[in-house]
Amino acid sequence: MSTRFKKILFGVGPTLGLTLLASAGMAQEATEAAAEAAPTLDAGNTAWMLVSTALVLMMTIPGLALFYGGMVRKKNVLGTMMQSFAIAALVSVLWMVVGYSLAFAEGNAYVGGLGKALLTGIGVDSLSGTIPETVFVVFQMTFAIITPALITGAFADRMKFSSMLVFMAAWVLVVYAPVCHWVWGGGFLMGDGVLDYAGGTVVHINAGVAGLVAAIVLGPRKGFGTDNMAPHNLTLSLIGASLLWVGWFGFNAGSAVAADGRAGMAMLVTQIAAAAATLAWMMVEWILRKKPSALGAVSGAVAGLVAITPASGFVGPSGALVIGLVAGVVCYWGATGLKHALKYDDSLDAFGVHGIGGIVGAILTGVFAMESIGGTAGLLEGNAGQVITQVYGIVATVVWCAVATFVILKIIDVVMGLRVSAEEEREGLDISLHGETVH
Amino acid sequence: MSTRFKKILFGVGPTLGLTLLASAGMAQEATEAAAEAAPTLDAGNTAWMLVSTALVLMMTIPGLALFYGGMVRKKNVLGTMMQSFAIAALVSVLWMVVGYSLAFAEGNAYVGGLGKALLTGIGVDSLSGTIPETVFVVFQMTFAIITPALITGAFADRMKFSSMLVFMAAWVLVVYAPVCHWVWGGGFLMGDGVLDYAGGTVVHINAGVAGLVAAIVLGPRKGFGTDNMAPHNLTLSLIGASLLWVGWFGFNAGSAVAADGRAGMAMLVTQIAAAAATLAWMMVEWILRKKPSALGAVSGAVAGLVAITPASGFVGPSGALVIGLVAGVVCYWGATGLKHALKYDDSLDAFGVHGIGGIVGAILTGVFAMESIGGTAGLLEGNAGQVITQVYGIVATVVWCAVATFVILKIIDVVMGLRVSAEEEREGLDISLHGETVH
Amino acid sequence: MSTRFKKILFGVGPTLGLTLLASAGMAQEATEAAAEAAPTLDAGNTAWMLVSTALVLMMTIPGLALFYGGMVRKKNVLGTMMQSFAIAALVSVLWMVVGYSLAFAEGNAYVGGLGKALLTGIGVDSLSGTIPETVFVVFQMTFAIITPALITGAFADRMKFSSMLVFMAAWVLVVYAPVCHWVWGGGFLMGDGVLDYAGGTVVHINAGVAGLVAAIVLGPRKGFGTDNMAPHNLTLSLIGASLLWVGWFGFNAGSAVAADGRAGMAMLVTQIAAAAATLAWMMVEWILRKKPSALGAVSGAVAGLVAITPASGFVGPSGALVIGLVAGVVCYWGATGLKHALKYDDSLDAFGVHGIGGIVGAILTGVFAMESIGGTAGLLEGNAGQVITQVYGIVATVVWCAVATFVILKIIDVVMGLRVSAEEEREGLDISLHGETVH
Amino acid sequence: MKLIMAIIKPFKLDEVREALTPLGVQGLTVSEVKGFGRQKGQTEIYRGAEYVVNFLPKVKIEVAVNDDIADRVIEAIQGAARTGKIGDGKIFVLDLAQAVRIRTGEANAEAL
Amino acid sequence: MKLIMAIIKPFKLDEVREALTPLGVQGLTVSEVKGFGRQKGQTEIYRGAEYVVNFLPKVKIEVAVNDDIADRVIEAIQGAARTGKIGDGKIFVLDLAQAVRIRTGEANAEAL
Amino acid sequence: MKLIMAIIKPFKLDEVREALTPLGVQGLTVSEVKGFGRQKGQTEIYRGAEYVVNFLPKVKIEVAVNDDIADRVIEAIQGAARTGKIGDGKIFVLDLAQAVRIRTGEANAEAL
Ligand SMILES: Nc1ncnc2c1ncn2[C@@H]1O[C@H](COP(=O)(O)OP(=O)(O)O)[C@@H](O)[C@H]1O
Ligand SMILES: Nc1ncnc2c1ncn2[C@@H]1O[C@H](COP(=O)(O)OP(=O)(O)O)[C@@H](O)[C@H]1O
Ligand SMILES: Nc1ncnc2c1ncn2[C@@H]1O[C@H](COP(=O)(O)OP(=O)(O)O)[C@@H](O)[C@H]1O
């Protein structure tokens, strides 16, 4: 497969460059197939997708903002929440201008074209399957928002706000949009049969790996390992995790792009996996640390939600139960043992939970996929090859994401620097970057 | 009717035992009637039920977690929120394994069978009426989650986390699932014509009575009546109550299992009753205590929402207005006069608001039910018998719930103890049970 | 047009008076036209409207309550949140009793009749277009709730709770209901072709102007300009603004009263405008004040959401982008330069953001309206007259709102006083009005 | 006069206050402090990161009294604040040169 | 030198600070405390449970000054903090044996 | 005995504590205070309203020690808390008349 990866590495970069320069081609229906299959608008499906969009936006603001905000020290809570909020705004505009097009417009195997830049040709009557394309655009926009927002957990408390914005802008266009195209926009991973129902690869592995790279490039927080960096207010994290859980129904069941049986099954397995992972993480902690913590419970829930994401449209309740249990245990290790062993400061465990959880989920999707649910059989139904395909999808994403993220960060570091000054870091982001404090 | 109750007491217990041992019968459509009536999937109804499910989950996490979390002392806020969160996870898994089956699978008049244990036979295409059965499973799951979570308010600040989990697991299977079967799963109360649209009996009376029993069995908090136990942060409770209110639309209007006129009417009366009760509680407080409090306003809102729950699909706007006003006043008494008179420590008024409010609502449903709305006439339309039937439903639930809850608690007390040590209680649940604190 | 205004001033008052006295006429379908056009219930549309209603309620509680609560000093947080909560309850009941009728029942050009007082004639099967009229009633109720709640930001920290309730009751009936009738209920502004898709005029200009008048009539907070009145906890405001943003999808896309292409486009432009305004405000602050603040970012988001409100069903993505950018910059000025120049204490910028933003949006709607989207062309498509019409709508609303609000406040001031005592103001509303504190 | 400063366990505050009233102490000032000493705190664990809390929540009472009752006040505090477990705290006594009641300007004895 | 400790009503802090500047006081330290005394607090009521707040929020000012200005400082504080209503607070004066400015190591008078 | 009161920059607390242990100091009491002095605070801006924060977060350490080690304790604190930048804080030394360990009733030297 190595040749394949050369192709990716030496393929995507240039193509992307070219595409960006290329003059806008003519608009094309985003999801032709679907469009042909069901050419008329369905109010029920549209209603569900309008709601799913709202739910996924709620995952980032206030969900993720709170989840992360509660875990940092008090002096950084506004700065942390501000990152998610500003990313929501920044990416929305970028997505409208060119992101959506790069992901979903007619293009090549690696990246979409510019045919839909500025949403050209998308009118009030344009359909994407049975729903208005406008809804599909915003729904996908909310995914493009939460992915970079997830990364911020890895470099909490120390990145310059300006550099963070520049980094996210570049990352969304150079990493997110292409990978989104690979898997959902008609790119090569889609063609190769990689299963990722709601974004285990596109969203979580992608964000987790980018976070890991960022944590390493930026280096640890001052006082990491010595100072007390206990979460300042876990009630915020509990609210955030709860809203993430609720919003995840829009994320996974919404990925059916319809209010149908598959959406229902996606919701059911999402609930089961989240619950199982919560219990699993709690139990591991109870055994190893004598006390089940609230942070552990919510971390487990998120781990389970991450792991079920790629699987949600393909597996059944029992598969979901196992995926949840495994994710709870493995992500606990990812956020504790692994991190402490390798000594990087992935401050809020963007990689430990989303990276690891995404990988677990992607692989187990290949194991538990059921033909009767998503049309594809997995290992348990005798299709061992699917697991290989899943691993292949993971590797492709990890490689491109890691390389591109590293390059982007290094360039920004040279141009404008990545970290706040030691003084500002000690004073806290709230006052030093934003001129505000929580009184 | 006494014979009837003997039958219940001596009927449910054994039957439940037997059923649990019994080998799983063959799967049966949960709501056959409905299924026959409308055999095809309706995307609009499905969309609404997907959303209602998300809304009801939101009621517990973060809604109820915040509502309760804000009312306890700071040292217990994480432990309190953790209870709701852990219950959400625990009950989800239990519901999938056997709870749903005990409530909705073909069984006898007292409890469902094991035909749907592990959700056997529920595929991506299985329907429950016009929506996927998977959606019905999760929707009902969210009811099974919030009911035990409501109980936790009664024994706040003093129960062992381990014992709490064991208690809730047993309670959901021995009390909730059967009562749910009685009223909604084809059990005897359904047959006898008891009206409970969205769970006044199944959810609120059930939780309230269980809470009262638990508060008495566990005994009061250390320092109850002497120490200052003022709510530490009512902003949390205000957020929680607001999310409960919003989520309640899914609870009541969602109980129509369709996006139709009856759902609309349910939403309208829910809003009116909640509003009326808020004003009523506020006014009573204003008159008796000279100041209308925020805690009073939100307590009133919850009281009104509880009381309209059984009535929501049966009464009209004017009925809702009266139900709300009555609930606001009576629950104020339940949470103050009654409690102080009887001296039990129902710490966050699980019984005072949910028990009393549920009873008020169940009875008034019999008074204000309109044939034109739910097909059944109430007292005002000349059907006095309905009130008797409602009372009968209440008594049946109260008796079984009280007895079973008491027995379960006593057993757990003997086996592993119910309360944390005096030392742990003083230190607070956050640090002593979960090793965390809000800084 | 001056004659026109005389007619308004001397027309609405009396008419309203008469109407209120008039005996209830017979019920009439609220939106006849619509009803005729689409006489059968559509489950998809109904599902979306049920959800939109929940979303818009969520905007006020907890959304707005948190947005405002975080901006005041700690001693006033409960009192501030309580205002939104109590208004939600009060207006719900008023709306049922007579508000809905005054806005949507058959009436004259200035105010609706009493034909639907107490929701007479609205049954479980009554339709409003393709959705149950009950749903339309609650959906509109949530608009009637948030509008007065928005006003409270202008007189934060100093108004008596009792006077506040009386004021809001009067204001909703004398100002909100009529203006709502003018624009949406078949009143003269509707007839004259004023475009206001989701309430830029009815909700935001109306609330903003009322707020400005209230701020001036009540006078500034004690210590305004000298004491430190920094927001006590912006994490609350960040949560609130996020929930406002999410809920706004129900507000704008819900105003399509259907789950269709126009709803989708409304959602898309809402997202774009909110994002653009967030970035705009942030950038202005960054340039002028050296630091982009979290409060600035969320203020920008709200400004953009306000400005796109009237435009949402009429403009496309590019129009939305411009509207957002302009709103971000102009509202920044409204909340800083303008306010400081004129020296009134619009404490939380109800006018600066909602009044100014609403005016910007109403005018730009006339500029960017596209025939292909909402059926009406704007300035850019050669219909310069639309801008005039928009201005006319603004002036009509501003004049009536300002005059009526002033009169109502003055009367209340004479009868019962508007402000708390200096002592109570210093102690804080929480303890002095509600007998509670955040510990 | 003496300024008596006592560092005690927070939950003992009410008992101490009640023990002082009979001695004619009409006022005192309290602040939340953190104490470091022999008593060791609980461990907090967040995703595997352990933090032993060295600084434990204590309450500091400051009460100005006349010399004549100083000793009884000290005894009363010690008696009421005592649990016998490590961490009960300390009582420090300082000489108070002067005291003024702001409202009236009364000085020393009358000020207390 | 003297260490002057004043317990005042919170909203009087700025006035007091401004009253001290003209006397050449260049620094002071403030802490939030709770005061128990003759002044009675408001009652909080939660679902019928009443709590009379005995401990009222006060601000404690600690300022070290040279003996020569001590009396004027005390007067200034008393003048600025006074409302005439019960609960205005107290001023306590302690002898200060030694003072050091950490940054420079300067001692006593120079340290202030 | 002496009661040494030091006002330092918050992030220096651990260093100071560690500097005292070798001197045999077994306990101390800490409180969060706000300091006003030469050091000027950052400006907070909310919708154009600027607030210069005059009162900066500081930590107050109170430690009772025997006379013999008092000077070394003062030096240790000064050494550990010093950054050389304005705002490092002060050390105030008061004579301590008496000390009692609540748990045991031990007095003075034994109480520390
Ligand atoms: N030398 C000291 N100076 C000031 N405060 C002290 C000193 N020693 C102890 N304390 C305070 O007394 C509290 C209790 O002391 P500790 O040694 O833990 O228990 P005990 O008082 O029973 O010996 C500490 O938490 C600290 O606040
Ligand atoms: N003996 C005392 N020792 C220490 N602080 C005291 C003492 N008496 C009063 N205070 C402080 O002074 C504050 C005001 O005292 P109080 O008796 O309420 O009013 P007044 O100072 O007008 O007599 C109290 O809240 C308390 O903080
Ligand atoms: N006269 C004083 N009395 C009490 N505390 C003081 C006094 N002067 C300064 N402080 C405290 O010391 C802190 C530092 O003083 P400052 O003048 O800012 O810097 P430096 O100590 O370097 O001169 C102040 O924030 C305040 O808490």
Note the pLDDT tens digit of each residue in D65-86: 999 999 999 999 999 999 999 9
pLDDT at C15: 61
How far, in Å, CA of B409 to CA of B402, rounded? 11
Q: Which residues in chain E are closer than 8 Å to F93, comparing Cβ atoms? A: 96-100
Considering only the beta carbons, identify the residue of E33, E81, E84 that sits closest to D31: E33
Residue with the two structure tokens 């509303």: C429
Q: Which residues in chain A are closer than 8 Å to F11, comparing Cβ atoms? A: 426
Q: Is F88 touching E (CB cutoff 8 A)?
A: yes
The closest alpha carbon to F93, from F63, F52, F58, belongs to: F63
Helices (H), C152-293: 161-171, 177-184, 188-191, 206-218, 234-252, 261-289
| B363-395 pLDDT, tens digit each | 999 999 999 999 999 999 999 999 999 999 999
Does residue A24 or residue A219 have the better pLDDT?
A219
The closest alpha carbon to A429, from A62, A61, A64, A72, belongs to: A72
The predicted model gives B81-88 an average pLDDT of 98
The closest alpha carbon to B362, from B334, B389, B331, belongs to: B389
The closest alpha carbon to A39, from A134, A130, A135, A136, belongs to: A130
Q: Which residues in chain D are closer than 8 Å to E10, comparing Cβ atoms? A: none
Band (pLDDT 50/70/90 cuts) for residue C419 is very high
Which protein residues are within 6 Å of ligand 2, measured from CB? D 27-29, 62-64, 101, 103, 112; E 7, 35-39, 56, 58, 86-90
Residue D101 has pLDDT above 80, yes or no: yes
Other CB atoms within 10 Å distance of the CB of residue A354: 34
Q: Which of D34, D46, D52, D56 is the mutation pick for testing A, counting most A CBs within 10 A?
A: D46
Considering only the beta carbons, identify the residue of A234, A246, A373 that sits closest to B436: A234
Q: Which residues in chain C are closer than 8 Å to E44, comparing Cβ atoms? A: 431, 435-437
Considering only the beta carbons, identify the residue of E31, E95, E100 that sits closest to F91: E100
Residue of B nearest to A235 (CA): B78
| Strand E56-65 to E28-36 pairing | antiparallel
Helical axes A43-58 vs C43-58, angle rounded to 10°: 20
Helical axes A294-311 vs B77-94, angle rounded to 10°: 40
Provide the ipTM: 0.95
Would you list the DSSP string of C205-241?
IHHHHHHHHHHHHH-PPTTTTTS----S-HHHHHHHH
B78/A265 touch (CB, cutoff 8 Å), yes or no: no
| A312-343 pLDDT, tens digit each | 999 999 999 999 999 999 999 999 999 999 99
pLDDT at B1: 44
Q: Whose CA is nearest to atom 3 of ligand 2?
A: D63
Ligand nearest, relative to CA of residue F60: 3
pTM metric for this prediction: 0.95
Q: Whose CA is nearest to atom 25 of ligand 2?
A: E35
CA distance to A81, A280, B281, per residue, from A303 (Å): 21, 10, 42
Q: Which residues in chain A are closer than 8 Å to F10, comparing Cβ atoms? A: none
| B6-18 pLDDT, tens digit each | 666 565 655 665 5
The Å distance, Cα D63 to ligand 2 centre, comes to: 9
Does chain D reach chain C with at least 3 CB pairs under 8 Å?
A: no
Query: Poorest-confidence range of A12-21, B99-108, B148-157, B275-284?
Result: A12-21
Our answer on whether the CB atom of F86 is closer than 6 Å to any ligand 3 atom is yes
How far, in Å, CA of B48 to CA of B54, rounded? 10
Residue of D nearest to B432 (CA): D42
| F58-112 pLDDT, tens digit each | 999 999 999 999 999 999 999 999 999 999 999 999 999 999 999 999 987 887 8
pLDDT at E61: 98
Q: Which residues, at least 6 apart from D88, have a Cβ–Cβ distance to it below 8 Å?
A: D8, D9, D81, D82, F101, F102, F103
Our answer on whether the CB atom of F5 is closer than 6 Å to any ligand 3 atom is no
Residue C64 has pLDDT above 70, yes or no: yes
Considering only the beta carbons, identify the residue of A228, A291, A335 that sits closest to D47: A335
| A172-193 pLDDT, tens digit each | 999 999 999 999 999 999 999 9
Neighbouring chains to D with at least 3 Cβ pairs closer than 8 Å: A, B, E, F
How far, in Å, CA of B16 to CA of B174, rounded? 8
List the beta bridge partners of residue E63: E4
| A90-114 pLDDT, tens digit each | 999 999 999 999 999 999 999 999 9
Q: Whose CA is nearest to atom 13 of ligand 1?
A: D89
**Cα A124 off chain centre by:** 29
| E46-75 pLDDT, tens digit each | 998 999 888 999 999 999 999 999 999 999
